């Protein structure tokens, strides 16, 4: 009996309590909301740290990525050919072939000189080209074609006057000349060297540009250009004054008969070469 009374008393004690105000489903929903809030807060903190760290390291990254100034380009300097050139094939021509080549070169000079020298007048060449040996160049015949030409030009140094120039062109076949570029300042006729310079071309060939005069000093200096070519060909172009004495002396004091660009352009012209 007492147990019955005790149970009834306990039921009576809680029968009038108000409801709890939430059920099991409410508990689950509330737990999920709190979990989402925690995740959002953690994400915001991480993003803030990333921005701060990135801002702090940006100057350092920019510093390490700075491109240094470009160094000046390296210009390749060509190596001059040896003399005689490696692999040179000597060329031997008959007298008839040399005469034919001389006529060809003579005709070509009549076209080339006015292209190189401004204000050329009265251009003439010898009646015939002369095959033969070069003076003092230690050649083995038949080896050379020689063409001489003369022309008049007007220059600023002598207003109102035409200055006459004599041009001599010698073309030596490969294997004909033992004389090296180091020995090519002036000529055996013009032995007093006033100036001399070597210029290595892009293909390794060597231009020797010199101004020289005779030992007795009777004539103004002549301009001489040698072109030692990679195939063993040698071209020698010599420009001299050919005017009367007074005009020649006056002109020679101010300007050579042909300047370096003019004479070098002729001496390096590929058409000035002997063909078999």
pLDDT (0 to 100) of residue 273: 96
Task: Using CA atoms of 28, 33, 37, 42 in order, give the dihedral in degrees to the nearest 10.
Answer: 40
pTM: 0.68
> What pLDDT score was predicted for residue 17?
46
Q: What is the pLDDT of residue 52?
A: 42
The whole-number pLDDT of residue 217 equals 63
User: Taking the chain (276 residues) in consecutive chunks of 10 residues, what is each chunk's mean pLDDT?
Assistant: 54 49 56 64 48 45 57 75 91 86 90 89 68 43 81 73 85 89 78 88 95 74 92 93 59 69 96 93
State the pLDDT at residue 57.
46
Distance CA 69, CA 59 (A): 20
Q: Which pLDDT does position 93 carry in this prediction?
A: 86
Give the pLDDT score at 225: 95
CA distance 49 to 58: 14
The separation between CA 223 and the C-alpha centre of its own chain, rounded to angstroms, equals: 27
- DSSP assignment, residue 258? S
Inter-residue contact 187 to 236 (CB < 8 Å):
yes
Report domain extents, the chain. 20-68, 95-267
**Structure confidence at residue 167 (pLDDT):** 92
């Amino acid at each position: 009996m007492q147990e019955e009374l005790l149970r009834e008393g306990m039921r009576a004690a809680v029968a009038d309590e108000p409801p709890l105000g939430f059920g099991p489903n409410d508990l689950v929903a509330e737990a999920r909301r709190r979990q989402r809030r925690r995740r959002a807060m953690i994400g915001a903190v991480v993003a803030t740290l990333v921005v701060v760290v990135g801002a702090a390291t940006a100057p350092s990254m920019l510093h390490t990525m700075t491109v240094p100034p470009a160094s000046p380009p390296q210009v390749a300097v060509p190596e001059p050919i040896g003399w005689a050139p490696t692999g040179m094939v000597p060329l031997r021509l008959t007298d008839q072939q040399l005469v034919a080549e001389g006529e060809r070169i003579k005709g070509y000079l009549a076209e080339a000189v006015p292209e190189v020298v401004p204000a050329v007048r009265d251009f003439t060449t010898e009646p015939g080209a002369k095959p033969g040996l070069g003076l003092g160049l230690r050649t083995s015949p038949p080896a050379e074609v020689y063409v001489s030409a003369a022309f008049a030009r007007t220059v600023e140094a002598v207003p109102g006057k035409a200055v006459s120039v004599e041009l001599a062109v010698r073309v030596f076949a490969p294997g004909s000349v033992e004389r090296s570029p180091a020995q090519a300042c002036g000529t055996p006729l013009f032995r007093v060297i006033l100036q001399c310079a070597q210029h290595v071309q892009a293909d390794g060939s060597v231009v020797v540009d010199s101004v020289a005069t005779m030992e007795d000093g009777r004539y103004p200096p002549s301009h001489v250009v040698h072109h030692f070519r990679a195939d063993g060909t040698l071209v020698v172009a010599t420009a001299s004054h050919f005017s009367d004495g007074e005009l020649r002396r006056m002109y020679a004091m101010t300007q050579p008969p042909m300047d370096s660009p003019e004479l070098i352009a002729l001496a390096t012209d590929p058409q000035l070469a002997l063909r078999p």
